[in-house]
């Protein structure tokens, strides 16, 4: 007999609380260093920022404990630490801007750090709202096409609005209403992940159907390329009509990776990169803004005091930081335009150096990896594609942002998740984290200790979903009891864990319903452990083998 797997699963919420407290300590300590280097004294702003940050994290922890008690304990602390590091750098740039305004005799500018705390509060409201309104991530699959339609509307809306309401620095990616502005592409990113996860679950056979074999790979049939061509068309439309290379790269990159995860065919990636490269070349040929970005990328110092000034200043800031950085509050990151938004990585690189910037990138990698781990652990296909798409969205956005500021790829103008100043990005990414936690909660949540239809009495503990094993049993391994075996001889064997079942005795014992037996007459009833089947002569009678 197989031993039963223990069902006791720790929620690990205590670990999450300790890590959140550690993130608060790091953030507060960094704020102290910034103020000590800039002001030579500690101000009341430090107390306000630290207390507000700690209070918001405590409320988020209580929400996770209430609505997703089995979720991954690392995801929220990692996001909180990134948010805290960004808050520190935004406050540091605020102090530099205030000092410059005072030296010029100008009015003191508004503090972006205070606004960022407000956006963090709004983001955590969305975070709690998603956890509350989505008790099961699988319900999102019902609204896949709705999510895709809303995402397209949000993505296309800035292009149809007047330039006065949508254009900032040449890119039409905003919706501006008075002093407030929102970047709808950040929310469209999440909606597209939901849509493609739902679509690929339903149409998976279409993408994995037979195709032509070439160079050891199976390429899809031409008539199956429709969805990929539609995604390509949307990405090119964004690139041309909104002059937004970053959102175009984000959107198409997510589509390609989710196609690869669903089909495991590298041919989809090759075809996607080929047609995107052709479209990008055409855009570079005919779209002036793309031509400017590419020329600055190829030689940012050719027009140092003009179009290449931002990228050049960012590279000089990274070079000034070196390996160890100048120290928090001891650099000059404010010399780089948009140092708290698009180029906040250069600000961080100058003051915490290559070592600190590498550690920051490791935090991003761990956050994306935990989302991928949830995708591996969850049982349903939609959950796997959803978590994988969300994790990849974080990693891909960081690559696009960092690649642009270090001049590895053309600068895209999108913001770093959780770190850059801005409300749209922060709110959308907290909603993304809530969905990752929802999938993670489903993956780690233990199975019910008693399934419907099982007889009353003591039940053996069941394995948690994340730890239960899955056995593949071929049909030739299943044996039907001889005709002479009476119903009374097929007695029930001991209960086993989900997916394994109880071991059958010599007399053809069968595990309880929902548990596949492993003897001469295994009985598979309804539930994750077994599947309904039938004997060659019709439905199996009670006490006899039924399918696998």
Task: Express each pLDDT in 289-320 by its tens digit.
Answer: 888 889 999 999 999 998 999 999 999 999 99
Position 388 pLDDT exceeds 90: yes
Regarding predicted confidence, which is higher, 208 or 59?
A: 59
Distance of alpha carbon 370 from alpha carbon 376, whole angstroms: 10
pLDDT confidence of residue 206: 67
Position 466 pLDDT exceeds 50: no
Position 547 pLDDT exceeds 50: no
Regarding predicted confidence, which is higher, 91 or 503?
A: 91
Q: How many residues does the chain have?
A: 548
Query: Angle at CA 401, nearest 5°, toward 24 and 49?
Result: 25
Nearest to 515 by CA among 446, 445, 468, 475: 468
Position 401 pLDDT exceeds 70: yes
> Beta strand 167-168 with 171-172: parallel, antiparallel or unpaired?
antiparallel
pLDDT confidence of residue 279: 82
Token output for 475:
């049909």
Numbers of helices and strands, H then E, in the chain: 16, 6
Distance of alpha carbon 340 from alpha carbon 346, whole angstroms: 9
Segment 72-100 shows an average pLDDT of 93
CB 232 within 8 A of CB 268: no
Distance of alpha carbon 119 from alpha carbon 90, whole angstroms: 13
3-state secondary structure of 391: helix
Segment 271-288 shows an average pLDDT of 84
Summarised one tens digit per residue, pLDDT across range 45-59 is: 778 888 888 899 999
Distance of alpha carbon 333 from alpha carbon 34, whole angstroms: 13
Distances (CA, A) of 9 to 24, 65, 101: 27, 14, 56
Distance of alpha carbon 380 from alpha carbon 444, whole angstroms: 13
> In this structure, what DSSP letter does residue 45 have?
H
CB 548 within 8 A of CB 533: yes
Distance of alpha carbon 71 from alpha carbon 435, whole angstroms: 10
Summarised one tens digit per residue, pLDDT across range 363-386 is: 999 999 999 999 999 989 999 999
- Range of lowest pLDDT (11-20, 145-154, 276-285, 476-485): 476-485
3-state secondary structure of 535: strand
Instruction: Kindly state the helix (H) or strand (E) to which residue 213 belongs, with its residue range.
Output: strand 212-214
Q: What pTM was computed for the model?
A: 0.78
pLDDT confidence of residue 263: 82
Phi, psi (5° rounding) for residue 262? -75, -35
pLDDT confidence of residue 399: 94
Distance of alpha carbon 509 from alpha carbon 495, whole angstroms: 11
Nearest to 393 by CA among 408, 410, 413, 414: 414
């Amino acid at each position: 007999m197989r031993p039963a797997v223990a069902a006791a699963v720790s929620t690990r919420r205590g670990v999450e609380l300790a890590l959140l407290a550690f993130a608060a300590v790091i953030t507060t300590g960094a704020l102290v260093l910034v103020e000590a280097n800039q002001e030579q004294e500690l101000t009341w702003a430090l107390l306000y920022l630290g207390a507000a940050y700690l209070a918001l994290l405590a409320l988020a922890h209580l929400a996770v404990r209430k609505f997703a008690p089995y979720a991954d304990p690392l995801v929220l602390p990692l996001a909180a630490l990134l948010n805290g590091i960004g808050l520190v750098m935004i406050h540091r740039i605020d102090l530099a801007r205030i000092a410059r305004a005072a030296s010029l005799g100008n009015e003191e500018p508004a503090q972006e750090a205070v606004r960022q705390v407000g956006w963090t509060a709004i983001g955590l409201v969305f975070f709690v709202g998603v956890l509350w309104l989505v008790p099961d991530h699988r319900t999102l699959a019902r609204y896949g096409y709705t999510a895709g339609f809303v995402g397209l509307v949000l993505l296309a809306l800035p292009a149809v609005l007047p330039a006065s309401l949508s254009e900032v620095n040449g890119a039409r990616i905003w919706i501006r209403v008075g002093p407030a502005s929102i970047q709808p592409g950040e929310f469209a990113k999440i909606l597209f992940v939901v849509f493609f996860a739902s679509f690929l679950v339903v149409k998976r056979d279409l993408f994995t159907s037979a195709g032509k074999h070439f160079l050891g790979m199976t390429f899809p049939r031409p008539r199956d390329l429709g969805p990929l061509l539609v995604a390509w068309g949307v990405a090119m439309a964004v690139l041309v009509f909104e002059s937004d290379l970053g959102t175009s790269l984000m959107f198409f990159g997510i589509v390609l990776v989710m196609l690869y995860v669903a089909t495991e065919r590298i041919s989809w990636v090759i075809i996607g990169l080929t047609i995107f490269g052709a479209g990008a070349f055409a855009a570079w040929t005919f779209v002036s803004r793309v031509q400017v970005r590419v020329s600055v990328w190829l030689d940012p110092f050719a027009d140092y005091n003009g179009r290449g000034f931002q990228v050049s200043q960012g590279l000089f800031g990274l070079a000034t930081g070196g390996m160890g950085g100048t120290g928090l509050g001891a650099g000059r990151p404010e010399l780089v335009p948009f140092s708290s938004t698009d180029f906040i990585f250069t600000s961080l690189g100058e003051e915490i150096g290559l070592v600190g910037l590498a550690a920051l990138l490791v935090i991003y990698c761990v956050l994306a990896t935990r989302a991928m781990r949830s995708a591996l652990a969850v049982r349903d296909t939609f959950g796997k594609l959803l978590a994988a798409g969300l994790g990849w969205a974080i990693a891909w956005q960081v690559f696009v942002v960092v690649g642009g500021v270090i001049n590895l790829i053309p600068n895209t103008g999108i913001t770093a998740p959780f770190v850059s100043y801005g409300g749209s990005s922060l709110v959308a990414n907290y909603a993304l984290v809530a969905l990752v936690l929802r999938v993670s909660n489903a993956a780690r949540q233990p199975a019910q200790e008693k399934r419907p239809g099982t007889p009353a009495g003591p039940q053996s503990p069941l394995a948690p979903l994340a730890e239960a094993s899955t056995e593949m049993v071929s049909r030739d391994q299943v044996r039907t009891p001889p005709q002479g075996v009476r119903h009374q001889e097929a007695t029930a064997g001991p209960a086993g864990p989900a997916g394994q079942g109880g071991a059958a005795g010599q007399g053809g014992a069968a595990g309880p319903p929902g548990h596949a037996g492993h003897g001469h007459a295994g009985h598979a009833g309804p539930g994750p452990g077994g599947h309904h089947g039938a004997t060659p002569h019709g439905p199996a009678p009670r006490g006899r083998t039924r399918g696998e």
